């Protein structure tokens, strides 16, 4: 039995319905958007009979969107974000045009490209640009991500149980090597995860959302929440290791430490940071002390842990190949008709240069520049209560940037862009909250 005909038990259907109701009613349109993105990134994992959860999640997003329209000023495009929105639409249009030129003879690949651009890129980007992103909205968005990831992990563990994996394996075989080793492992057959990057990206975003965006300051819940957050973090690292995404593990640790450091500077002893670092250190010691071997998926044929994490060994040749292909067509790129499809180059910069040429790279670079020189500055300098949420968003972007530099593309790593839109809107909101006199002085200056 494989993921294509894996049955959906009644209890899981009830769980899915409960999550959808929670997302639409409690997390609203912001959470429904995040839940849909999480499901769309893993279309093959969660199936309800012959179909995936994607159309159901999109239906929930449509319902949440209709309910949101009853609010005053439900959709607004801030003037400061129009240039960013226009640049992004131009980039998406070039992706579609360049893809069409190279995939005319492959209707299946062209449909896949159209799906990725429209549902994973354009819809979330435009919707995010039109929504207001106050603190509650960002928290709702984080809840949607976590709800989607929890559902995926429940599905994965449920199928693992049916494949003969015992609950005790979580302790005795932390990396689940007996279930995940091999190219035709039960994990691959029962989940359909062939592009493991998207699965691991969702896990990393959910971990960052729990640790930094959804963190509560209520004293009576603080210890319990921090303990649960750290447990969730460790579980996400385990799941990332199962699919063998080394750059996701590394990027997640770096993003957590970077975001934590911004907190430690103001609170010299932060219990949450201490527990996170302690948990990561214990997980690392398990590997370094050879208490159990790393899974084959994580090692990818490397002889040592150091070699498995060495980009010159695992990615260097691919980066060189991507640059050589860019030289063949530097202006418009080679499109998406290459042998390796959307993963050409295994680096978002090399991928963009090779597939979209200088035209696509220029638009992408302009978009990143518009983020950095304006909204990002405003958000990081904000002194209101929302600064912690802002840093959580920046931490989520740091995680995606790290993964995209090892295995990413403008299409697949679109989270960098729509997370950037949220930061843009929050920066615009922060600017609007400033006294009129200060805004006037800023304009004069």
- Quote the pLDDT of residue 382: 59
- Quote the pLDDT of residue 242: 83
pTM of the model: 0.87
- pLDDT at residue 186 tops 70: yes
- Quote the pLDDT of residue 300: 66
Residue 129 CB-density burial (10 A; 0-12 exposed, 13-18 middle, 19+ buried): buried
- Quote the pLDDT of residue 383: 57
- Quote the pLDDT of residue 193: 76
- Quote the pLDDT of residue 442: 41
- Quote the pLDDT of residue 27: 94
- Quote the pLDDT of residue 437: 41
- Quote the pLDDT of residue 264: 47
Lowest mean pLDDT: which of 2-6, 320-324, 361-365? 2-6
- pLDDT at residue 49 tops 90: no
Q: Which residue has the higher pLDDT, 134 or 216?
A: 134
- pLDDT at residue 240 tops 70: yes
Longest dimension (CA), the chain: 69
Q: Which residue has the higher pLDDT, 205 or 421?
A: 205
- Quote the pLDDT of residue 282: 59
| Residue percentage of the chain with pLDDT more than 70 | 76
Torsion, CA 307, CA 311, CA 313, CA 314, rounded to 10: 100
- pLDDT at residue 155 tops 50: yes
Q: Which residue has the higher pLDDT, 159 or 30?
A: 30
Average pLDDT over residues 33-39: 94
d(CA 204, CA 313): 24
- Quote the pLDDT of residue 269: 45
- Quote the pLDDT of residue 113: 83
- pLDDT at residue 373 tops 80: no
- pLDDT at residue 291 tops 60: no
- pLDDT at residue 399 tops 80: yes
Average pLDDT over residues 106-116: 79
- Contact between 194 and 342 under an 8 Å Cβ cutoff? The reply is no
> How confident is the model over 67-104, as pLDDT tens digits?
999 988 889 887 777 888 999 999 999 998 888 887 76
- pLDDT at residue 163 tops 80: yes
- pLDDT at residue 23 tops 60: yes
pLDDT category of residue 421 using cuts at 50, 70 and 90: confident
Q: Which residue has the higher pLDDT, 286 or 72?
A: 72
Q: Which residue has the higher pLDDT, 33 or 5?
A: 33
Lowest mean pLDDT: which of 72-81, 156-165, 420-429? 420-429
pLDDT category of residue 195 using cuts at 50, 70 and 90: low
Give the torsion sign (CA, 390, 395, 401, 404): negative
d(CA 123, CA 119): 6
- Quote the pLDDT of residue 211: 84
- Quote the pLDDT of residue 268: 45
- Quote the pLDDT of residue 110: 80
Please give the mean pLDDT across all residues of the chain: 79
Lowest mean pLDDT: which of 143-152, 189-198, 205-214, 339-348? 339-348
pLDDT category of residue 431 using cuts at 50, 70 and 90: low
d(CA 239, CA 193): 12
Lowest mean pLDDT: which of 153-162, 253-262, 283-292, 397-406? 283-292
Average pLDDT over residues 345-374: 87
The packing angle between helices 54-68 and 28-41, to 10°, is 160
At 180, list the tokens.
């995940």
């Amino acid at each position: 039995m494989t993921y294509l005909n894996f049955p959906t038990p009644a209890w899981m259907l009830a769980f899915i319905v409960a999550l959808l109701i929670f997302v639409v009613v409690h997390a609203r349109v912001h959470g429904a958007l995040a839940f849909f993105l999480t499901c769309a990134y893993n279309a093959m994992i969660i199936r309800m009979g012959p179909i995936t959860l994607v159309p159901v999640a999109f239906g929930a997003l449509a319902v949440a969107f209709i309910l949101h329209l009853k609010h005053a000023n439900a959709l607004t495009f801030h003037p400061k974000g129009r240039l960013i929105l226009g640049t992004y639409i131009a980039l998406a249009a070039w992706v579609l045009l360049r893809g069409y030129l190279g995939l005319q003879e492959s209707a299946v690949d062209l449909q896949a490209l159209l799906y990725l651009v429209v549902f994973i890129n354009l819809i979330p980007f435009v919707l995010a640009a039109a929504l207001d992103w106050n603190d509650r909205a960002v928290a709702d968005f984080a809840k949607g991500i976590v709800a989607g990831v929890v559902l995926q992990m429940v599905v994965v563990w449920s199928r693992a149980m049916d494949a003969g994996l015992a609950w005790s394996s979580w302790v005795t075989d932390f990396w689940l090597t007996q279930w995940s080793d091999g190219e035709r492992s039960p994990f691959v057959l029962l989940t359909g995860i062939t592009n493991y990057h998207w699965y691991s990206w969702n896990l990393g975003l959910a971990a960052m959302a729990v640790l930094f965006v959804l963190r509560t300051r209520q004293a009576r819940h603080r210890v319990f929440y921090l303990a649960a957050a750290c447990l969730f973090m460790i579980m996400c690292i385990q799941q990332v290791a199962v699919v063998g995404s080394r750059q996701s593990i590394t990027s997640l640790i770096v993003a957590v430490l970077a975001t934590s450091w911004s907190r430690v500077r103001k609170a010299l002893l932060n219990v949450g940071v201490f527990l996170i670092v302690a948990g990561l250190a214990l997980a690392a010691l398990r590997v370094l002390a050879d208490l159990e071997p790393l899974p084959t998926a994580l090692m990818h044929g490397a002889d040592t842990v150091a070699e498995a994490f060495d980009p010159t060994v695992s990615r260097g040749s691919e980066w060189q190949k991507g640059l050589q292909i860019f030289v063949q067509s530097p202006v418009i790129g080679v499109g998406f008709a290459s042998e390796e499809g959307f993963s050409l180059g295994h680096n978002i910069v090399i991928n963009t240069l090779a597939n979209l040429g200088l035209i696509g790279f220029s638009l992408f670079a302009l978009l990143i520049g518009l983020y950095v020189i304006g909204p990002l500055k405003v958000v990081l300098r904000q002194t209101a209560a929302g600064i912690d949420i802002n840093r959580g968003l920046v931490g989520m972007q740091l995680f995606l940037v790290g993964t995209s530099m090892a295995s990413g593309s403008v299409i697949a790593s679109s989270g960098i862009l729509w997370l950037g839109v949220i930061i843009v809107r929050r920066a615009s909101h922060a600017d609007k909250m400033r006294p009129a006199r200060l805004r006037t002085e800023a304009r004069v200056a």
